[in-house]
């Protein structure tokens, strides 16, 4: 099912895109939870982490690696950051196009609420 993230990929909806390649796109979260809050999404429409298949293994790796590169370039890697994939209802997922949150630039607590 196409979501608003597909419309960001096709440029029907504007977003602050900070990185893209043939596999994925990264853009700033519209409601940032920290000084750095970027979403990394595959171009392929995958609803959630629960819908991932073995053939997506490399793609998931690319998302994580792109987030790590961005964190280093943003200067938050040494202090640390959080990578989050909210999954389905109990995970708090609201947009059903797989996305990896990169959140950082401030200390964070654990466990989540």
- Using the rule CB under 6 A, give the single segment among 17-25, 55-63, 65-73, 86-94 that binds ligand AMP: 86-94
Site for ligand AMP in 36-65 (CB under 6 A): 39
Site for ligand AMP in 65-84 (CB under 6 A): none
From candidates 2, 4, 50, 61, binder to ligand AMP by CB under 6 A: 4
Can you say how many angstroms the Cα of residue 27 is from the centroid of all Cα atoms in its chain?
Answer: 8
- Using the rule CB under 6 A, give the single segment among 53-61, 71-79, 92-100, 102-110 that binds ligand AMP: 92-100
Q: How far apart are CA 87 and CA 108, in angstroms?
A: 20
């Amino acid at each position: 099912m196409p979501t608003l993230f597909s419309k960001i990929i096709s440029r029907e909806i504007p977003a602050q895109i900070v990185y893209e390649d043939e596999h994925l796109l990264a853009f700033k979260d519209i409601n940032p939870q920290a000084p750095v809050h970027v979403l990394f999404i595959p171009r392929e429409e995958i609803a959630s982490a629960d819908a991932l298949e073995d053939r997506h293994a490399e793609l998931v790796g690319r998302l994580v690696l792109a987030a790590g590169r961005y964190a280093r370039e943003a200067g938050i890697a040494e202090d640390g950051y959080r990578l989050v994939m909210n999954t389905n209802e109990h995970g708090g997922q609201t947009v059903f196009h797989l996305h990896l949150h990169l959140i950082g630039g401030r200390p964070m607590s654990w466990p989540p609420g």
